[in-house]
Structures are given as structure tokens and as C-alpha cells.
Structure 1
Amino acid sequence: MSTQAIPEVAIIGAGPAGLTAARILQMHGIAVRVFEADVSTDARDQGGTLDLHADSGQVALDRAGLLGVFRLQARHEDQELKVLDYKTANLLIDDRPDKQTGGRPEIDRKALRDLLLSSLETGTVTWATKLKDVISDSGGRHLLRFADQTIGPFDLVIGADGAWSKVRLALSSVKPAYTGITFIEFWIDDADQRHPDLARLVGHGTIMAIHESKGIVAQRNAHGHLRVYAVLHAAEDWLAASQIDASEPHLLKRSLKTLLPELAPSLAALIDESRDVAFVRPIVALPTDFRWTHKPGLTLIGDAAHVMPPVGLGVNLAMFDAAELATKLKFGEEWDQDLQAFETAMQDRANAHAREAQEGFLEMYGRDAPRAILEHLQQRRNDQ
């Protein structure tokens, strides 16, 4: 492996992890190139809202010099979580932190990506470059093979390319496994004006109405936009087996009438009144003890390293990974030892959080839901 003073660094993936790493590396005078499969920043929807935690996501933004800007853009008022009864929509518990002191303000994924992109040097991100694989040479440097070109070699390749990471394939044959839960995502635009009853139902944050591993989750995004998720406990191939065309949202909506029996009418309206747009999202996770054997000059961060069920940890851990990596690599003659130390610490941290995420996911979407999540929220309230 090259021990040159100024290494060639590539990051695969322009999500929160990859962009955070790029920003901090540039702050430290390290040139970096980011390669992203999307053809542009607006090429596809970036997903819903995020709550950034004071001990992880916000730490990363602080190290990136962006915490103040984030606080100006964040929605401090949208931290509420309401658990509703699946059949009646009656309120079971309202977990509402003080909007001035709650430590997990919300920001839409696109807004976070735009914030990070705007902080980078011009030309840092190369769009429309979908990685096929990584080719390592005998000297410990790495070539990146894309569909129409091969770029490199690089001294360090950081895989921030998500759950189905191509960089991870150069380090491990382990792949994420289906959790048994599928989300079907729908959108409602301008809810405050067009659907005020639904806007009031969702309130300022997130609602959950789960019964026996099925139900509804809805969350408020910026500008009155609501994201609605039908939650199903289903076989991985249920969509193909049911012969439902995922590109026909009205067919999905019709099928959910049967798949979500006895759902309260006001909750069903969140699906019925949504736009004719739908995304089927099987929830996957890596094993809670996932690790890989170190390979000089190759590493993973974020979902590429530890994709886990969505319980509010993923992006926070991803950004913290990025900040830890970018601040602790000194790029002296023994910098690969720094990389190994980072990986060991990250894997220890990720394994612990993966177990926590698995337990939290079962609380939210297990067969006895919502009992476990109600007990958890009540205990947290009692401890305050």
C-alpha cells in the first residue's frame, strides 16, 4: 500500500455518510472524490424526515462546521410521537418533547443532503457513476470499475454506498437479510390546506398505529408534506406472489383494504387520499454481529457497514462513522493502523446499536405491538 503523504481518496455514495466524510476531509486539506449513481441531486426522492441526535448526527455536523446552519433549518417543533389504536385511532400515548429543548430536531433528507453538498468544493461529486466493483492491485491500491470506465487507483476507498454496497462485496460475502416487514410508502402533498383533518391527525411529528405486525405509520415532513407507510408482515416475495403491479398505486391501495383489515377509517384515509405514487420497501438488515476482515485501503461506513431496521439510528450512526473516520485518519506513514482502529471501534459500536435496533424494531412492529412500545414510552416518561 502506498504511504504517500497526500493519499488519493475516493468515496462511493453521496448520501449523508459519504458527504459528511468528504466535507471533513476537505476541511483537513485532503482532496477527495465522491462518486454517486444518481444522475443528479434531484434525480430521485431522498426519503422522509430524520431526527438528528445530539450525541451522533449533530456531533458530526458540528465537526463539519455545519451545526449552526442545521439548527436554523431544522424543525424543532416536529419531534412528537403519537401511538394510536389500530382499530379506533384513539390516542394511546403522546410522547411530546419540549420543542425548545428536545434533543432530536427533524430535517428532511433532501434538505440535509443539500446542506452537505453546498459545503463541498465545486466538482467534488461525480454524478451518474454507478459502481460495478472494486479491483485491488498487488500494492494495496484500488481501481473503481464503473459501467463505462475504470477510475483510479486510489489509496483509500470509502464505501458509503448503502445497504447493497458494492464496496462491501470486496470485503465480505455477507448480504443483508429480509426482516419479514415491508413498508409501502405513499405521499400526501400540502396536507394542511388540502387535507386538514389528516394533517391534524398526524400532528407535529410521527404517528404509529400497529396491531399484530401490521398497520400505519405517518410522519410530517416540511411544507405540509406527509409520508404514509403501510406496514405489513409478509413473505419476501408476497408482491410477486399476489401478482400486484407495484407501478399501479391504485391496485396497491385496493389490496391494502384486505391486508389491513379493521383499520380505523381515519387511518385508512391516509392511504386513500394519497397521491398515485407508491414505493414498496422491504426492510432488510445485516447480522447484528457483522464484521469484515480488514483490507488495507478499503473501508465501509453507514448502511454499507451496518444496515439495520429503521428505528432512528441509521443516519445518525452513518454520519458519526463519517466524522470519526475523517477526523481520526492522520495519513502519516502508518495511517492504515488508524483505519484498522477506526474499523474496530465502529464495528463494536455498530454491533451494539444493531442489537438495540433489532429490539426496538420488534417493540414497534412485533406480533404483540403496540404493547411493548407503549411500555417503553411510559417507562421513559416515568424516568424523566
Structure 2
Amino acid sequence: MMEVPSFTLTRQMKEMEKELSAAIQQVMESGQFILGDIVKTFEEQMADYTHSRFAIGVGNGSDALYLALRAADIGAGDEVLTTPFTFFATAGSILRTGAKPVFTDIQVDTFNMDPEQARTRITPRTRAVLPVHLFGLMADVEALRQNFDGIIIEDAAQAIGATMRGKPAGSVGDLAAFSFFPTKNLGALGDGGLVTTQREEWANAVRALRAHGARKKYYHEVVGINSRLDALQAAILSVKLPYLDRWTQKRQHIAKRYSDGLHTLGLEAVHIPVVPEGFTHVFHQYTIRVENRDRLQAFLKSQGIGTTVYYPLALHLQPALRDLGYHLGDFPISEQVQNEVLSLPMFPELTDSEVDYVIEMIGHFYGKRVG
């Protein structure tokens, strides 16, 4: 039996140990640990990578969403349209501003916001639309713009490096939020986040809001929060960023191997990820939809294969959000996929033999042999 983890950083850390240690040593010698030149350099690198005029480092991805909303002056009395099939921070960040999350259902094949359904949910109170680029595939922001001329904020936490018709994640909305949680495609060794925008006034607003609302030290124009990307994490991310495209190519290779192998098995019960024409997928997760999901997951675990369910309960059904007034049946596609999704092992250092073993065991579960 082969042991295949759902995710691990140990292989990557071993390969990069010397470079990361040198970067950490540089920060220690600089004596500058909060913001400073190292953070500024990483922000410039990220602005270039995402084709954005401005990139502002913040404490984590959740704060990136919140600060992007605050910079756009989203608050009490406003509605923000988003998806119920995502991590809790998407809706939580909207609520932190005092605005109301309004959900709209997803497309079953992409897991992303359905532009047609979104059109029917827009009201005069809708100040912003917050699409999530889930699992590494961008939502169709251009289609959303056809029916909405307000603010669009990308939740790009899982999609750094992804593109839509040649435009990278972080450049197509009015603002965008990234996460550098260690498991992300570009991960820090702790928490970290970033906001991108093309508008200087919003960039300046984020810079102030991340430092308790002060543009000048000890002079507070608004009530902000303490959410600054520290220099250690920025230095680590600057070391990793040049490797990101190569890691993305490895993820895409792994995804193709999964898709080709599962397609060969001819399993009607297994639905593989879809990549629409004109989009590139960076496969933060390789997520299939399957019948008997829980049984398959238990079987794979018994064969040494780690898997994860993202996400087992849609946001409109979460106890913490019951006051929004949604009920079972309101978003049938999200409710369907929450019972079907299973994310297979995915990280750049995964070997072909490990991928083939996962495919073989899925086939074994459904009574099909590879080859």
C-alpha cells in the first residue's frame, strides 16, 4: 500500500531550505520586521505579477477581503452578491463591514458563480459583487460585468496565476483579495494576504485601514484594524514567487494525468473538473464530484490516500448565518455539490506514480481496472 498525503509542505521545504533560511537571516539582520523595504519589494513584485497598478500586503486573506470592501466604502445598508459555496471568510468579511451578503447559486461544472443567476439577484441595494475564483479557476467576471456596473471584488485567494481570456486573477475586478496561507499555491510560513487594485485612492485607503486608519503615524482618519504583512513572510514569499509558474505547470500536469486516467476508466459516477475555453486553471485543488462520496473517501483513506471535502456545508446553511433567512432548497446546485465534492491529493511535488495509484484505487472502488 502506498501512502499519498492530501497535501504536504515537507517536500517543498526540503528543496528550498537554504534559500528560505537565507531570506529569514536577511530580515533578522535588517532589524525591520513590520512593513519596510522587504514588504514594499514584495508588493511591487505582486503588482507586476497580477498586472495591477497597486498591491498592498495585509495580515491574511480574510483581512484582504474585508479591507478591499472597506476601501470601496461598503458598509451598513449595502448588499454584496456572492456565492454560498466557498470558505466562510467570504461571507464573514462582508458581515464585518456591516453589509449584507446576498447569495446566488453556482454552475455545477465550474463551482463558480453563475452569471445568469447572479443577474436575477441584483437589486438597487447591490453595491458590489464578490465572485470567488474557486479551486484555482476564475469566475467569469466579464459576464458578470455585462449585467452589473457597480464594484466587483475578486476573491482570488485560491487562484493566483489563473487567467481569464489572457487576464490574470487580481486584474479584472476593481479590487482583489489574495491569501498566502501556507497551503495556497503561493504560501507563506504563516498568515499573509494582499489586496490589488488599479485605483490609487483605494490603494491608499487599504494602506491606511491596515494601520488603524492612519495615513500619518498617530493621526487616525478612520477606524481601521491592525493587519500588516510582516517582513519575514514577505521575504519568504519573494523567494517563492519566482517558482510559482513552474509549480503551476506541475499542478496542471498532475491535473491532466488525473483527468486522462479517470476518463479512461469511463466512470459515469465520477465528474472531473471542467476548464472553460479561454480560461487557465491553476488547480489549487483537483476536485471531482462523485456518487457515494463519503464511502469513496473512507475507502481511499483505508488505502493510504488522503482526501479533503471542500466544502461540506454551503454558507446559507451555516448556523452562524441563519439570521440571513435562507433555507434548505434555496440554492440547489450548491446543496448538491456539497454532498459530492472530493478533493484528491494535489501539490507540485506529487509524483506520477502517486497520481496513478490514486486513479487505480478510485477505479478499484467502482469495480474498474486501469489499463
Taking structure 1 as the reference length, the TM-score comes to 0.24
Name the one with the larger helix percent: 2
Taking structure 2 as the reference length, the TM-score comes to 0.25
